[in-house]
Structure 1
Amino acid sequence: MTSILTNVAAMAALSTLRSISSGMEETQDRVSSGLRVGSASDNAAYWSIATTMKSDNMALSAVSDALGLGAAKVDTAYSGMDSAIEVVKEIKAKLVAATEDGVDKAKIQEEIDQLKDQLSSIAQAASFSGENWLQADLGGTAGTVAKSVVASFVRAEDGSVSVKKVDYELNTDNVLFDNTGAGGILDKTYNVTSNSVTLSVNTDGASAEVTVAAYTVDDLIALNATFTTNTTAAGKTTQLADAAGTFYVKIDDTTWVQAVDVTGTGQETVHDEGGTYYGVDTANLPASIAAPSSIENLDITGLTPAQLDAMISGVDEALTDMTSAAADLGSIGMRIDLQTEFVNSLSDSIDKGVGRLVDADLNEESTRLKALQTQQQLAVQSLSIANSSSEVILSLFR
């Protein structure tokens, strides 16, 4: 049936044109924005995931910046510590030179004073962004100061988030100067011990590491010990006793330690003499003596040879602490470098994952757009043909 009131063909053509125009609008939006999911109405689930991950990626970007700042702090502290080690090595060498008979200690002290000033300059200069890890307010030998570097941003399975950090504790073993006490490596006085050895001793089932005085036979002879007992096992001397009844037990080919009769106590024995057991005398620890001064206050002009020896040992102990601190800083620096690489890689992976969810395939969209443009032209032509049918009806009334 032909009607001038209802043009079914035109209505169908118009509906098709509207559908094509809607498709073209959606495709043009994807082409212009580059996004397949640009809003929640496009795909609520993907949009939600992408929005959350983009937020996390921004946090990771901040973490990357923080890691860069942390790396700068650690590198600054390490450079300062490394330079300070070289200066303390020079001080140790000057002390060794001062042990020579007839040497001018005053002249050596002048050189040491310059080296001490250099140590102070290094510690003060090793600061980055207001952070100085080579000098701190420890408040004495028991103080610590916690430092940390942001390492990562983590979202757990339950959706909770947290910031992970690399911790580093400033204490008396890794700070050069303590601003509020004598607790730094360079401003504290080290205790040095006589020749000693560390043994594992089990007393009544409880094992512990103990440090006891160690002797050679020459050492014991130098102590004017007259040995009244000489017990052997398998042809080797294993126990000696002096006139005062003090026993010494052999623990290796050259080392002897003071022993005590501990029969029946359950203590680990170092010698069995027919049922009489001798273990390490843990109450007789090696004597500790204090070095004459800290490195900061070092003055060798009035030191005796024995004091010089103690000072050399003290400086060597300081070098050990400094070397250990530098190694710790180096390890943290390496960890920060690795974490920086990981964070950057993780950020790239998140970008790729989000892209797979929401990015438009422009090859596909351009092909679809071309097809829709052709369809639009055909739909317009079809609508034009449908509208011209009314003119045909008009000719019937002529």
Structure 2
Amino acid sequence: MSSILTNASALTALQSLNATNKNLQVTQGRIATGMRVAEAADNAAYWSIATTMRSDNKANSVVQDALGLGAGKVDTAYTAMNSAINVVDQIKQKVLLAKTSSAADRDRIQTEIGNLQSQLKDNIAGANYAGSNLLQTSSNASAVDKKLTVMTSYNRDSTGAVTTGTIDVDFTNIRLIDTNGATGAAKAGILDKAIGATGSPSILSLKVNGTASQTTATAFDNLLTGIEKALKGMASGAAELGAGKARIDLQKDFVSKLSDSIDRGVGQLVDADMNKESTRLQALQVQQQLGIQALSIANGSSQQILSLFRG
């Protein structure tokens, strides 16, 4: 039936064209954004999961920054500790040489030891990273300042409860100079505390000349014993720093890989397949052109009715 009030063919063609245009708009949006789930309306479940995982990955980015900062501090302290061990080893050699030297030679040796002691102080004072010096700390510091705490992980369970992992480096075993403001026996640094009985010198204050207590073989043996003890403590400190550095490096590598894995997982949920969308775009463009042609033909049928009334 032909009607001038209702053109069923045109309505059908228009509905088909509208559906094609809608699909074309969706495909063009996916190509423009590179995502098939760009908002909750596209797929509420996938969008929610992706949003949560992106948030977690931002936290992992903070963890990576914290690990990088911690690695810098520990690496700086480790380098300075090794340098200090080498200098103390040289001091040990000078003390051993002075044991059987004349008084005049001991004066010259003491000058060399004094230079090495100054070198130790300079090296340790320069071992700063981001305002932190792990080798020069106070034994009277508050609990929070008695160790270096490096955040290593951000953990969220199924209920939303959050915990963080840490790596702690205790200053007690790596402290070379104590900045507690005290003097003498009250010092707790490996290099500034007494290396023998009460009243004996520290590594930074020992002398091989000018004092009666260091004129005997036994006195020199006591100095050498104290130096060996200090070297042992420094070796333990270097080992602790090395272990901390190795663990931080491993965690940095893990967090980096974890972050990449989460990115890939989110991509599988929400990223568009560009090859598929490109093919779909071409098909929809053809459908759109055909739809427009079909609508034009359907609208032309009304004009044909006029021919029935022509004489």
| TM-score normalised by L of structure 2 | 0.91
Q: Distance between the aligned counterparts of 1:350 and 1:174, measured in 2? A: 37
Moved more, 356-365 or 158-167: 158-167
The residue number in structure 1 matching 2:41 is 41
Instruction: Name the larger-Rg structure.
Output: 1
1:362 offset after TM fit, Å?
0.9
The residue number in structure 1 matching 2:248 is 336
Q: Distance between the aligned counterparts of 1:153 and 1:70, measured in 2? A: 16
1:143-190 Cα offsets, whole Å, 9 max, x none, are 97121122222222332223322111111x321100114110011113
1:294-343 Cα offsets, whole Å, 9 max, x none, are 11221222212212111110100000000111111111111111111111
- Of structures 1 and 2, the one scoring higher in RCO (CA 8 A, sep 6+) is 2
Call closer, same or farther: CA 1:358–1:144 in 2, change over 3 Å: closer
Q: What is the one-letter code of the residue matched to 1:185?
A: I
> Is 2:117 aligned against 1:116?
yes
Call closer, same or farther: CA 1:144–1:17 in 2, change over 3 Å: closer
Q: What is the one-letter code of the residue matched to 1:44?
A: A
Task: State the SS of the aligned residue for 1:165.
Answer: strand
> Is 2:188 aligned against 1:183?
yes
Q: Distance between the aligned counterparts of 1:11 and 1:102, measured in 2? A: 117
CA contact (8 A) 2:195 2:203 kept: no
Q: Distance between the aligned counterparts of 1:143 and 1:40, measured in 2? A: 44
Q: Distance between the aligned counterparts of 1:133 and 1:381, measured in 2? A: 78
- Of Structure 1 and Structure 2, the greater helix share is in 2
Paired residues, what number? 299
Q: Which residues of 2 match residues 1-398 of structure 1 at below 5 A? A: 1-100=1-100, 102=102, 104-139=105-140, 145-171=146-172, 173-180=173-180, 181=182, 182-191=187-196, 289=197, 292-301=200-209, 302=211, 303=214, 304-398=216-310
Q: Distance between the aligned counterparts of 2:9 and 2:96, measured in 1? A: 110
1:22 offset after TM fit, Å?
0.5
CA contact (8 A) 1:40 1:48 kept: yes
1:380 offset after TM fit, Å?
1.1
Task: State the SS of the aligned residue for 2:309.
Answer: coil
Q: Over the residues paired in the alignment, what is the CA RMSD in angstroms?
A: 1.8
1:101 offset after TM fit, Å?
5.5
The residue number in structure 2 matching 1:259 is none
Task: State the SS of the aligned residue for 2:189.
Answer: coil
Q: Distance between the aligned counterparts of 1:321 and 1:291, measured in 2? A: 20
Task: State the SS of the aligned residue for 1:132.
Answer: coil
CA contact (8 A) 1:36 1:360 kept: yes
Q: Distance between the aligned counterparts of 2:162 and 2:31, measured in 1? A: 35
1:244-276 Cα offsets, whole Å, 9 max, x none, are xxxxxxxxxxxxxxxxxxxxxxxxxxxxxxxxx
Task: State the SS of the aligned residue for 1:71.
Answer: helix
CA contact (8 A) 1:64 1:340 kept: yes
Q: Percent identity?
A: 49
CA contact (8 A) 1:136 1:177 kept: yes
Q: Distance between the aligned counterparts of 1:336 and 1:7, measured in 2? A: 74
CA contact (8 A) 1:144 1:169 kept: no
CA contact (8 A) 1:291 1:314 kept: no
CA contact (8 A) 1:109 1:300 kept: yes
CA contact (8 A) 1:291 1:310 kept: no
Q: What is the one-letter code of the residue matched to 1:129?
A: A
Q: What is the one-letter code of the residue matched to 2:203?
A: I
CA contact (8 A) 1:139 1:183 kept: no
1:368 offset after TM fit, Å?
1.0
- Of Structure 1 and Structure 2, the greater strand share is in 1
CA contact (8 A) 1:292 1:310 kept: no
1:29 offset after TM fit, Å?
0.5
CA contact (8 A) 2:27 2:280 kept: yes
Task: State the SS of the aligned residue for 1:162.
Answer: strand
Give structure 1 regions of 4+ aligned residues with deviation exceeding 6 angstroms.
none
Q: What is the one-letter code of the residue matched to 2:17?
A: L
| TM-score normalised by L of structure 1 | 0.72
CA contact (8 A) 2:67 2:152 kept: yes
